[in-house]
């Protein structure tokens, strides 16, 4: 996998370079400030980009803006965004329109090597990867009747779906059968008025689109 990394913290940036190269990926470019990000992405057109939300010179949303601009120029460019804190507005903007190939992780998740690599590979494959804490924040702020109608188990399933987990993984994590998971997912879609699909990836995108729509509303 060819990767571009944009991170102003030298230690974290070099740590990610070492980690990714050690498992066989190629880091084709690194950026340490906002203005460097978009040119690096357009020049190298990587298989995936790992971007810090806040970068110099303004330390506001330079990394996110570069990611959104790059995805306009290179539709579907897989982007994994890193943030120090859960910033709901940034998460919602990145996920706007039910975008595929996107992820949003808290920076401390990078230290959990297996989780970080799994998230990056899912995003590069066109899937979605949301930090569990981001999902928790997104769902906790939704007080609409449809979500309130979900049972605790259905909320657990929705939470894991929004993280990008497939049915088999959900079944393992909840210690239930895949058939039970399918039933819960069917109930979730029915209660949220979302059309069911045979594609796990499309189901995740539908859930994220729903959460984003509620944020916008």
pTM exceeds 0.85 for this model: no
Instruction: Based on the fold, state whether residues 126 and 147 are members of the same structural domain.
Output: no
Residue 18 lies in a domain: yes
Instruction: Based on the fold, state whether residues 82 and 149 are members of the same structural domain.
Output: no
Q: For each of the chain's 217 residues, which pLDDT tens digit applies?
A: 999 999 999 999 999 999 999 999 999 999 999 899 999 999 999 999 999 988 898 888 888 888 888 888 888 899 998 988 766 666 666 666 555 788 888 888 778 899 899 999 999 998 888 887 776 666 665 555 567 777 889 888 888 887 778 889 999 999 999 999 988 888 887 776 665 554 555 566 556 655 654 455 5
131, 159, 190: which is the final residue of a domain?
Answer: 131
Q: Which residues 6+ apart lie within 8 Å of 112 measured at CB?
A: none
Residue 82 lies in a domain: yes
Domain count within the chain: 2
Instruction: Based on the fold, state whether residues 78 and 107 are members of the same structural domain.
Output: yes
Distance CA 68, CA 88 (A): 16
102, 131, 160: which is the final residue of a domain?
Answer: 131
The burial of 74, by beta-carbon neighbours within 10 Å (0-12 exposed, 13-18 middle, 19 or more buried), is given as: middle
In which domain, by residue range, is 46 found?
2-131
């Amino acid at each position: 996998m060819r990767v571009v990394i944009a991170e102003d913290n030298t230690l974290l940036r070099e740590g990610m370079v070492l980690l990714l190269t050690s498992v066989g990926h190629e880091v084709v470019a690194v950026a340490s400030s906002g203005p460097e990000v978009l040119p690096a992405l357009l020049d190298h057109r990587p298989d995936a980009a790992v971007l810090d939300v806040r970068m110099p010179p303004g330390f506001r949303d330079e990394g996110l803006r570069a990611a959104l601009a790059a995805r306009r120029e290179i539709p579907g460019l897989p982007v994994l965004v890193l943030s120090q804190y859960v910033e709901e507005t940034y998460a919602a903007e990145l996920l706007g329109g039910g975008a595929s190939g996107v992820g949003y992780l808290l920076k401390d998740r990078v230290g959990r090597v297996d989780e970080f690599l799994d998230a990056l590979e899912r995003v590069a494959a066109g899937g979605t990867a949301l930090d569990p804490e981001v999902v928790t924040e997104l769902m906790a702020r939704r007080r609409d009747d449809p979500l309130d109608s979900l049972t605790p188990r259905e909320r657990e399933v929705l939470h894991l779906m929004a993280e990008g987990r497939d049915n088999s993984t959900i079944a393992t994590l909840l210690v239930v059968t895949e058939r039970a998971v399918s039933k819960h997912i069917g109930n979730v879609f029915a209660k949220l008025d979302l059309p069911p699909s045979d594609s796990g990836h499309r189901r995740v995108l539908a859930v994220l689109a729903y959460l984003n729509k509620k944020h916008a509303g």
